[in-house]
Structure 1
Amino acid sequence: MKYSNQKLQEEKVFKDPVHRYIHVRDQVIWDLIGTKEFQRLRRIRQLGTTYLTFHGAEHSRLNHSLGVYEIIRRIVDDVFANRPEWDESERLLSLCAALLHDLGHGPYSHSFEKVFDLDHEVFTQAIILGDTEVNQVLKRVSRSFPQKVSDVIAKTYDNNQIISLISSQIDADRMDYLQRDAYFTGVSYGHFDMERILRVLRPREDQVVIKSSGMHAVEDYIMSRYQMYWQVYFHPVTRSSEVILTKILHRAKELSEMNYEFAYEPMHFVSMFEGKVTLKDYLKLDESVIMYYFQMWEDEKDPILRDLCSRFINRNLFKYVEFDPSKEYKKLNKLEQLFSEADLDPEYYLVVDSSSDLPYDFYRPGEEEERVPIHLLMPSGELRELSRQSEIVDAISGKRRTDHKLYYPKDLLMDDSTHKETKEKILAILGVSEH
């Protein structure tokens, strides 16, 4: 029997708090789960530093990847099975792309990427196509199969149906992480009727659409996403921890460029600092490695690196005030000057952080990050873009919400042992009480 068609002698089942059970019947999927590159995802948290805000948010990228796989498995095995618009030969490709879509995430994903100018999707493709255990498994299907999986993740595969299942405005990725993140953070915002949405999904030639009878379930899904972004993903305390994490990495990189002698040499970061990251180096990094260095750097000679690491490890985070950079730039300039006078480097201790989200958008050809809209399948067979049918979705379509915060170390400003008058001026400008 061809490897691509091989089934396990007995189905494997994972218990899961979101989907109850995750079913594995295909030998290829079971073999991919067992690779060291996939198992590495156990050591990467799904929500980065969010555990410092919501103590339950300790779940991993591996949890999420299995969840996305399970949603796709249900769609292709149950919802789309025997439908003429669905090509059964694409089943295994859909399952593999779903399972591996987050394979390239690094520790504290997005913060890490910003500092070192990396892209997890590029690394996902590199793992799939490179000298890895994952690649060896995929090549057993066919020599061209790794490239096909990579193309789905890169959104360049010639079957848009599969791409939209894994990456669109209503996809298996979002359907899993909204519910999973809500479960582990303990909030109620991310819940929606996924069962209903799965029942009304329909394959079309170049996309996946929703039966119009399921419109209200989709409205609920979009509002759940909106609430999760502002109540969980963009929580100001989480953003404070991300600011500190980012500044630690910036400081370590800056010190390396200054030929600073670390008490404990950051060997795992050398290629990052030099901008010559190899796949082998990248795969050695996980959050346990990062935390080890942060603990070691608590004893560094450099006072900034030492302080920032201690803050992150012991959750002594920066405080924040509302801030509008377009109107308050003069205030920021004055604060930067005063921080310098108080021997607090504004590069590390006065940080403007912005968060922005577009909950739903219709098709805007040629625009950056153009979004394929959600289409409703009307009883007549006509396709209608969601916001034209739903007043709720129309009200938020194309409306980007942005929030700005100014982060600072209140504890250092309250310490009046040095630069007392300057610190009082800073607190007054920030509008912060000394009590």
Structure 2
Amino acid sequence: MASSNKKKIFNDPVYGFITIPSDLIYDLVEHRYFQRLRRIKQLGMSEFVYPGALHTRFHHALGAMHLMGQAIQALRGKGHLITEAECEAVQAAILLHDLGHGPFSHVLEHTILNGVHHESLSLLLMQDINWEFGGALTLAIRMFEGTYERPFFHQLISSQLDMDRMDYLNRDCFYTGVAEGTIGADRIIKMLDLAKDAGQKDRLVVEAKGILSIENFLNARRLMYWQVYLHKTSLCAEAMLIQLIRRARFLISRGTAVPASPALTLFLSRAVTLADFESHPEYLQAFSELDDYDIWSAIKIWSRHPDRVLADLCARMLERKLFKIILSDQPLAEEVILDVQQQLVRQNIPSDELSYFIHSGIATNAAYLSSQEARTDNILIKFKNGRVADIADASDLPGIKALANIVRRYYVCWARNPMNNDQ
């Protein structure tokens, strides 16, 4: 029976009590698509590094909705007209912005699916809910897409200073224990304002007295990427997960039985594209049933699979026998890769199986994209005289300009020892 009391309160460990602001938001939280986010971890494989990193996309979405409510209050307090319909719509949009994440969030985004970005799937799922709710999300979808005539709402949802980033930095710091990544979200939100752009449309800006908080925000984001999101151990665990999924897909393509849940089996056996999702509703429904548990259940089963490659990789994951890694600021010399391959050959791994036990890549991080690269979502500072400037130009810290540089780290990771030799 549907609840008659929809003014619920969540006790959030990061912000304290979070209130569900409307009946629509309550119904969205209760929807099966949103409840699925309870079963998708926010930080993918980071729990292999930080044991406390077990929070989910469900936590994050509620937190982002809470911060959005605070941002709207701050803007209203400065005399900006925001209707109740706009307030509800932008909170609904940020609440649902991560619906399209698959198992382990970003890790398998381009492995299970065929180049389908999670934001595209979020939009399809929002449209599906909108049909079910009789058009109640039409305004929220316009804000999410960036087609609404007041562009600052889209900036609050998706930009370089949005409520998404505000929450995940706060929340990921809390659950990993990386205190250096702490940001002053409350102060930043209180410093938000609006200013007219060249087209006389309201753009999101930050009052000049909030510059120090923005500088801290950008530095914290840079630190969190290298210390958490792109941690070398996480890179190894992610590489192993990608390789075992690759092996499972290969075996299925050869006609070998690889038991898994119906939803996972569907995406392992077919290269589903965005066009497939748009034209075949059954794919979207199957995706809405897919979560971390499908993958872990499969890994447990596959660890005893007759195929030794799949079984080996899965057993390593279950026992945390992770790949080793070499990181470099420069592209790795060919000799380094050849040496790693020779190590694998000495483990009696056949040449046609080597690719499953070695993975190379590039980890990139730019804490801030200046106005030239970002085009419309750069962080703008508003001075008392009304002048508006990019944070990179407004800040007197030379480090802010340096944060706009894309930093690349090259790596190769591999299975150093056969499983039966691991201690």
TM-score (norm 1): 0.85
Is 1:245 matched with 2:245?
no
Equivalent AA in structure 2 for residue 348 of structure 1:
Y
> Structure 1 CA distance, aligned partners of 2:296 and 2:411?
26
**1:341 CA drift (Å):** 6.1
CA distance in structure 2 between the aligned counterparts of 1:35 and 1:414, rounded to whole angstroms: 46
Equivalent AA in structure 2 for residue 222 of structure 1: L
The one of 361, 364, 368 aligned to 1:356: 364
Residue in structure 2 matched with residue 275 of structure 1 by the alignment: 271
Q: Is 1:30 the counterpart of 2:30 in the alignment?
A: no
What is residue 426 of structure 1 aligned with on the other side? none
1:3-14 equivalent positions in 2, closer than 5 A? 11-14=7-10
CA RMSD of the aligned region, Å?
2.4
SS at match of 2:148: coil
Question: What amino acid sits opposite 1:283 in the alignment?
Answer: S
Count of residues in Structure 1 that have an aligned counterpart in Structure 2: 398
How has the CA–CA distance of structure 1 residues 232 and 268 changed in structure 2, closer, same or farther, with 3 Å as cutoff?
A: same
Alpha-carbon distance change, 265 to 72 in structure 1, aligned in 2, over 3 angstroms: closer
The answer for the alignment partner of 1:220 in structure 2 is 216
Runs of 4+ in 1 over 4 A off after TM superposition: 413-416
**How many percent identity over aligned positions?**
27
Q: Counterpart of 1:151?
A: 142
The one-letter code sitting in structure 1 at the alignment partner of 2:388 is L
Residue in structure 2 matched with residue 307 of structure 1 by the alignment: 312
Q: How does 1:371-386 map to 2 (within 5 A)?
A: 372-386=377-391
AA at the equivalent of 1:289 = D
Q: Distance in 2 between matches of 1:326 and 1:219?
A: 30
Equivalents in 2 of 1:186, 1:341: separation in Å? 40
What is the CA-CA distance between 1:323 and the residue it aligns to?
Answer: 4.3
The alpha-carbon deviation at position 52 of structure 1 amounts to 1.3
SS at match of 1:354: strand
CA contact 1:72–1:98 (8 Å) conserved in 2: yes
- My pick for the range that moved more, 178-187 or 81-90, is 81-90
Query: Aligned-pair distance for 1:336?
Result: 3.2
Alignment of 1:35-434 (within 5 A): 35-76=31-72, 78-81=73-76, 83-88=78-83, 89-115=85-111, 116-117=113-114, 118-130=116-128, 132=129, 135-137=131-133, 139=134, 143=135, 145-204=136-195, 205-262=201-258, 264=259, 267-272=262-267, 273-276=269-272, 278-323=283-328, 326-333=331-338, 335-336=340-341, 339-340=344-345, 342-344=347-349, 345-364=353-372, 370=375, 372-392=377-397, 393-412=399-418, 415=421
Secondary structure in 1 aligned to 2:20?
strand
Contact 1:351-1:408 at 8 Å conserved across structures: yes
Pairwise CA distance, 1:357: 0.7
CA separation of 1:252 and 1:396: change in aligned 2, threshold 3 A:
same
Output the CA distance in 2 between the equivalents of 1:95 and 1:382: 30
The whole-number CA distance in structure 1 between the counterparts of 2:261 and 2:301 is 10
Cα pair 1:361 1:371 within 8 Å, conserved? no
Amino acid at match of 2:226: W
Give the distance between the partners of 2:336 and 2:6, measured in 1 at CA.
66
Is residue 53–residue 238 contact of structure 1 (8 Å, CA) maintained in 2? Answer: yes
Q: Is the contact between residue 65 and residue 95 of structure 2 (CA under 8 Å) also seen in structure 1? A: yes
Deviations 1:355-408 (A, max 9, x none): 1111112112xx5x7562111110101111111121335342421111122211
Rounded to whole Å, the distance in 1 between the matches of 2:377 and 2:224 is 21
- Write the letter of the residue equivalent to 1:394: I
| Distance change in 2, residues 1:184/1:90 (3 Å) | same
